[in-house]
Structure 1
Amino acid sequence: MTYLLKIAFCSVLALPLSAAAVNSTTLPDLGVNAFSSLSPEKEKLIGDMMLKQTRAQLPMVSDPLLDEYLHTLGQALVAKAEGVRFPFTFSWVNSPEINAFAMLGGNIVSNTGTLAVADSESEFASVMSHEIVHVTQRHIARAVEAKSQNAPLTMASLLGSILLTIANPEAGMAGLMATQGIAAQTAINFTRSNEQEADRIGIQLLAKGGYDPYAMPEFFNKLSEKTRFSNTQLAFLYTHPLSQARISDSRVRAEQFERKFVPDSSDFALAKARIWARYQLKGKEALAYFQKKVATPGGNTKANQYGLALTLFDNGDVKAAEQILLKLRAHDDKNLFYIDAMTDVYIQTKQTDKALQMLEQEYLLRPNNQVITLNYANAAMAAKSERLALHLLKNLLYFKPDTYLAYEMLIDAYKSLNDMAKYFEARADLYYQLAIYPKAIDDINESLNRLAETDKLESRRLEAKKKQWQAEFARLKQLN
């Protein structure tokens, strides 16, 4: 779906709240120095805070199809991992750079560019398995504990260094070490030790998960080749130092397993095509890329046809996109990638009745699937059926409260209905999910101001929500 997040967020002081704490009016006691001793509960709480803050400040991707793919792959690996202490989450950053990183509390983020350059699903899975092991082996938690004992450590300083590392890896790593007063050589040695362990256990996890364990050394070798004759370093290599010895060691580890052919899933190929069409390239450049792909011998695959359909649509040739999608759906009418793109075509060509009919049937089969629900709500909005859209979105948020596009669509639906009290509350809920407490509280006050004097019960509900948020914000600011 082409619905995009339109609210710009920026916050330096606002601190996020963990998913576990959302349903509670009290927060666990973090202690005077929250970082000096990280229990699993405390690590998850702080990790979720940092993830929400990161989502508010980095160009995160709110793409239900890519989210579903990454979540499915990541959770399948986590299910085979040892030492899992809490639920994992997987997110995307919109960046062509090859990079991925793990945060406290099982929160793993990948750049879209990482999947774009992966030649196989096993290669991409090798990056995810490596990051999962960083969490299960408590590499990040132990590093944070060690740093907090050498110098005062606040959420702002730690988060600031992490964000800088992502945006400018060389400056970020220097800033992180300077902020914590840690000697550079000590930090590098500690990192190398953890990287080797993450490689070793990550290769085992790859094999357990049904992927090719040889994919990890092959991906490492590819990264090494990319920088051999270059003066610039890949972002991934700043945070994951890569030596020839490490590549050789990972190859020896992989050779402990029998080599076998592991085919890529169709979703991998479609997700990769989507990233190239919508994130790596733009406009005419993306169209030329897929036209060449399809025309190349052996390149007329379903994934490349799908990518071509997306780029045709984005460049205004909606009818040509529709013809390709109709042929693809004729062989696989339940495919979420095709359903999503077909919804956009139907809406663009004013065939909302066809979109609603298609999505109603799919919704009955998969009522909690975010791709189906968000597209169904989008089609309902296009058909001026705001009440239907509200019903769908509220049900989805009950099961998946961090679906940011759902909040944006709620905001638009309430505005269309001129229900300004609900409009401001929905916007406040979105700010709250992104941990931008001051704006969330301001919008709750706006919602209260829009209520009629007779809405006593609704007023009490909003006042209780505001007080809870104010208490949480005050408590979380103590970490700074």
Structure 2
Amino acid sequence: MSFKAAQQFFVAFLVSFGLATGSVQARSGLPDIGGNAFSTLTPEKEKQLGDVLMRQTRGSLPMVYDPLLDEYLNDLGNRLVARANDVKFPFKFYWVNNKHINAFATLGGNIASHTGTLAVSESESEFASVISHEIAHVTQRHIARFVEAQNQRAPMSLAAILGAVVLATVNPEAGMAAMMATQGAAQQSAINFTRGNEQEADRIGMKILADSGFDPYAVPEFFYKLTQQSRFVNQQLAFLQTHPLSQARVSDTRLRAEQFERRYVPDSQDYILSKARVLARYHFPTKETVEIFQQRLSQPGGNTKANLYGLAIAKLDNGLLIEAQKIIEDLLQQDPHNLYYVDVYTDILLGQNQYKKALEMLEQEYLIRPNNQVVTLNYANAAVKAGSYRLAIHLLRNLLYYKNDNILAYDLLSDAYKQLEDFAKYYEARADLYYQLANYPKAIDDLNEALNHIGENSRLENRRVEAKKQQLQAEFDRLRKM
């Protein structure tokens, strides 16, 4: 799903925030939540902080809001979490639109992967090895223990540390400089975990990987590829900056892998198609994607569904709708309910103004999978394009009932209300969107705007929105006092 308007909104939002360590906190409205109050981080406190900090991260980095990729990453991540020990809270997984190989974990079970990590992986086991490593950092409470240790030395700003970590995921060298400038050289361990922590995450992550049915040998193989790549560039790879990798560590993971039985694990179709989607839409330059996938298809063994799917996306994104439609229709004949194909076909139909056909197809998919976010968001997006705003609102409100942090849903919902000129609901939906990005002041401002548009006779609605604003203000005040 393209959602061009949503992408433009988030690009503008990112630019308005900036990525300097200080401005991340100040402009997002996120309070300083460090200090002695969190000298001991219970799992409850960690989850509370983690949720706020992850929302701040979503408001500060170029996140990927793609329901297909979101479904794949969270399904894979939770499959790995199911085999982990010491899981104290639900995990959530996110994408950052960045071509560099990297992944990072924050407090409270929130883990993000760069799109570049999936793009360069050569097997699903390799990609899963990175995610299982980050899961191990969380279950072993490496980040929480770092925060506790630093608070015992002196009160500090956890938000400032996160700001440097956020910056490091985009520019590792600048992130380290920001960390050292604001917190001192000792704080660099907030980005570069200690050698012991990294080895522990390697060991536990490998066990999680193996217990989940993946190939444990993918860990040393992926590490070896990273070290070989770093030899031919002037600057270390982002992953090696945030996860220091010595030759001894590579050897250690190789020895540990030998304790497990070597297994051949075929890549899942979701992995193959997700990787093709990332390559076509987030990795290669758009103007070059058609030629790249045509070359891949012409190579021996390259005539695969993944490369055909990638070529269809490339042609769609370059405006070659008829050619893209032919490819996708052929793929749909083989697998008519494949959501990767349905998603691209929807965008092709919308690009041709075939709204009725798109709505009819998606209605049938919705009857089969009414709670699937890919189907629902495509259906709602098509409804908005077709002018069926009340249908879109119905679909989105149902989705948000059980997935209340969905950024695209709030964006589409606000658009639908705006088209209906229901400005009270429009501003309320925008407030919900800004809340998901930890921008409390902007969310409260939009709730005030919503109150201004509620009619004088709508007392119950006025009280509901006022109560929502007061609750948000109380949460903001409570965070500032921590």
Give the TM-score taking structure 1 as reference length: 0.94
State the AA in 2 paired with 1:312: K
Q: Quick check: 2:331–2:341 contact (8 Å CA) kept in 1?
A: yes
Q: Does residue 71 in structure 1 map to residue 74 in structure 2?
A: yes
SS at match of 1:405: helix
State the AA in 2 paired with 1:373: T
How big is the alpha-carbon RMSD for the aligned residues of Structure 1 and Structure 2? 1.8
What's the offset of the Cα at 1:15?
A: 5.5
Quick one: percent identity of the two aligned structures? Answer: 63
Deviation string, structure 1 residues 212-243 (Cα, Å, up to 9, x no partner): 00000000000000011332111111110001
Give the 5 Å matches for 1:197-346.
Answer: 197-346=200-349
Deviation string, structure 1 residues 112-158 (Cα, Å, up to 9, x no partner): 00000000000000000000000001111111111222232113312
SS at match of 2:332: helix
Provide the residue aligned with 1:12 in structure 2: 25
Provide the residue aligned with 1:27 in structure 2: none
Closer, same or farther: CA 183–472 of 1 in aligned 2, 3 Å: closer
Provide the residue aligned with 1:385 in structure 2: 388
Deviation string, structure 1 residues 196-217 (Cα, Å, up to 9, x no partner): 1111111111110000000000
What's the offset of the Cα at 1:317?
A: 0.7
Q: Quick check: 1:86–1:105 contact (8 Å CA) kept in 2?
A: yes
Q: Does residue 365 in structure 1 map to residue 368 in structure 2?
A: yes
Counterparts of 2:181 and 2:84 in 1: how far apart (Å)?
34
Q: Does residue 134 in structure 1 map to residue 147 in structure 2?
A: no
Counterparts of 2:308 and 2:476 in 1: how far apart (Å)?
49
Deviation string, structure 1 residues 326-355 (Cα, Å, up to 9, x no partner): 010111111110010010011111222221
Give the 5 Å matches for 1:309-458.
Answer: 309-458=312-461
Q: Quick check: 1:53–1:434 contact (8 Å CA) kept in 2?
A: yes
State the AA in 1 paired with 2:118: L
Provide the residue aligned with 1:92 in structure 2: 95
Deviation string, structure 1 residues 167-206 (Cα, Å, up to 9, x no partner): 2212323433453445489889961111111111111111
User: Any unmatched runs of 5+ in structure 1?
Assistant: 18-29
Counterparts of 1:366 and 1:76 in 2: how far apart (Å)?
21
SS at match of 1:90: strand
Counterparts of 2:423 and 2:329 in 1: how far apart (Å)?
40
Q: Quick check: 1:53–1:435 contact (8 Å CA) kept in 2?
A: yes
Provide the residue aligned with 1:44 in structure 2: 47
Provide the residue aligned with 2:20 in structure 1: none
Q: 1:151 aligns with which of 149, 154, 157?
A: 154
SS at match of 2:143: helix
Counterparts of 2:83 and 2:30 in 1: how far apart (Å)?
30
What's the offset of the Cα at 1:81?
A: 0.4
Deviation string, structure 1 residues 284-322 (Cα, Å, up to 9, x no partner): 211111111111111010010000000001111100000
Give the TM-score taking structure 2 as reference length: 0.93
Closer, same or farther: CA 34–285 of 1 in aligned 2, 3 Å: farther
State the AA in 1 paired with 2:95: W
Q: Quick check: 2:146–2:190 contact (8 Å CA) kept in 1?
A: no
Counterparts of 1:194 and 1:39 in 2: how far apart (Å)?
20
Counterparts of 2:473 and 2:460 in 1: how far apart (Å)?
20
Q: 2:59 aligns with which of 28, 53, 56?
A: 56
Q: May I ask how many residue pairs the two structures share in their alignment?
A: 467
Q: Quick check: 2:168–2:175 contact (8 Å CA) kept in 1?
A: yes
Counterparts of 1:68 and 1:372 in 2: how far apart (Å)?
11
What's the offset of the Cα at 1:70?
A: 0.2
